[in-house]
Structure 1
Amino acid sequence: MNGHVLSKKILRAGYYWLTMERDSIQFVRKCHQCQINGDLIRSPHVELHAMDAPWPFVAWGMDVIGPIKPKALNGHRFILVAIDYFTKWVEAVTFKSVTKKAVLDFVH
């Protein structure tokens, strides 16, 4: 976490002092564990490549989200999501369990 996030957590815990944010930033900069476990932003830059989809509904991405706790009111615990890369059209349905038949029915 960075110093700003740390000061917000301290504030939510009910503590406050005038130099809280500055002290939090300085603490995080000096903390060895914070530096080791922090995000690596020193990675080399790479060129971005656009995904080519020549016309709508040619390239799809699908993913299953779950199990979701607590269950939905209808007992469903999984969400199947599909997105078209060209139009950004999103479809999502919920399932009690994700089976081969359920995915095939969703795609058809």
Structure 2
Amino acid sequence: MEAKLILEEVHEGVYGTHANGFTMARQIMRFGYYWATIEGDCINYTKKCHKCQIYGDKIHVPPSPLHVMTSPWPFSMWGMDVIGPISPKALNGHRFIFVVIDYFTKWVEAASYANVTKSDVSRFLKKEIICRYGMPERIISDNALNLNNKTIAEVCD
């Protein structure tokens, strides 16, 4: 029982750092405590810590290929997406936010809409992106129908 209290305090107490099992065992011994299964108990405790599981590094996931997404100069590559529906609605009845972000500078252009239609997206791209910053080299979207369709392709052409 006393060992469990020590494990809790050292791992996530007032000065707890959510250290791994080996580090935690060394800290406990530095505080003057010792028992035969200290290292195994510390490792098992950290494996069961909910916060460590959620926020810890994902080092045990299978490797996957990296995709380089570099933008060679400002305003040459934009990403666009829709946020929403937002609840409750805005005072003007808008439920969605259309967001376009430059990959190089992280500059954000956004507008709110009641419904994001392909004509709204087309008008926004012409007025807020192309007229202000010039024709981008790439526009990246999640292939939603209102972001990737014939009307948007015509604007880009």
Instruction: Decide: shared fold, TM above 0.5.
Output: yes
Q: Partner letter of residue 79 of structure 1?
A: I
Q: Which one of 104, 108, 114 corresponds to residue 86 of structure 1?
A: 104
Instruction: Number of aligned residue pairs: give it.
Output: 83
Spell out, residue by residue over 1:56-82, the C-alpha distance to the aligned partner (whole angstroms, 9 max, x if none): 221110000111110001100000000
Decide which structure has the larger Cα Rg and report it. 2
Residue equivalent to 2:48: 29
CA distance in 2, matches of 1:48, 1:104: 31
* 5+ residue gaps, structure 2: 13-44, 127-157
Identity of aligned residues (%): 53
Task: State the secondary structure of the residue aligned to 2:121.
Answer: helix
The RMSD of aligned alpha carbons is 3.2
CA distance in 2, matches of 1:84, 1:47: 24
Alpha-carbon shift at residue 43 of structure 1 (Å): 1.3
Alpha-carbon shift at residue 47 of structure 1 (Å): 7.6
Residue equivalent to 1:106: 124
Structure 1 residues 76 and 49, CA, compared in 2 at 3 Å: closer, same or farther? same
Q: TM-score scaled to structure 1, two decimals?
A: 0.60
Runs of 4+ residues deviating >6 angstroms:
none
Q: Partner letter of residue 8 of structure 2?
A: R
Alpha-carbon shift at residue 44 of structure 1 (Å): 4.2
Alpha-carbon shift at residue 91 of structure 1 (Å): 0.6
The structure richer in helix per residue is 2
Alignment of 1:28-67 (within 5 A): 29=48, 39=54, 41=58, 42-44=60-62, 50-67=68-85
Q: TM-score scaled to structure 2, two decimals?
A: 0.43
